[in-house]
């Protein structure tokens, strides 16, 4: 919903750091620990952006309170990225060519140096 509605900047941050308490096709209830962000203006902006994206009216309700650890969109995105990173590292380390090079040179893999190819590197590869 955040990406679909094209939320950016402070609105994206607000939505990403919120805990979804309830969600229906017409309304979302969000809890955020930072009271100062729970303004009527932010509520209206979120409602407008999401309503335009959905093509129908959509309501946003803010609740102030403690956000449960690991319950925000930002937390889920972090977990996804970490899992993708672990998968990339394991895939690299299990590659037969990499294993052979490590064996031949009695080497060690610096996991911090492992990264996905950029689009430009992918284009050069093909």
Report the pLDDT value the prediction gives residue 115, as an integer from 0 to 100: 92
Domains: count for the chain: 1
Q: Please identify which residue in the block is written with the tokens 């690299």.
A: 92
Whether 68 is covered by a domain: the verdict is yes
Whether 47 shows a pLDDT value over 80: the answer reads: yes
Whether 49 is covered by a domain: the verdict is yes
Whether 105 is covered by a domain: the verdict is no
Whether 124 is covered by a domain: the verdict is no
Looking at every residue in the chain, the average pLDDT score rounds to 92
Whether 122 is covered by a domain: the verdict is no
Report the pLDDT value the prediction gives residue 80, as an integer from 0 to 100: 94
Q: Is 20 exposed, middle or buried (0-12, 13-18, 19+ CB in 10 A)?
A: middle
CATH code of residue 11: 3.30.300.150
Whether 111 is covered by a domain: the verdict is no
**Domain with 64 in it:** 1-93
Confidence of residue 24 (pLDDT cuts 50, 70, 90): very high
């Amino acid at each position: 919903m955040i990406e679909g509605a094209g939320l950016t900047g402070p609105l994206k941050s607000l939505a990403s750091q919120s805990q979804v308490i309830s969600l229906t096709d017409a309304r979302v209830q969000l809890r955020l620990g930072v009271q100062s962000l729970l303004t009527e203006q932010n509520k209206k902006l979120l409602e407008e952006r999401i309503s335009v994206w959905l093509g129908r009216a959509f309501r946003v309700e803010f609740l102030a309170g403690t956000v449960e650890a690991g319950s925000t969109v930002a937390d889920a995105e972090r977990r996804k990225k970490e899992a993708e990173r672990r998968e990339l590292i394991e895939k690299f380390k299990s590659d037969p060519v990499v294993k052979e090079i490590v064996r031949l040179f009695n080497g060690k893999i610096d996991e911090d140096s492992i990264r996905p190819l950029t689009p430009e590197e992918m284009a050069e590869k093909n």
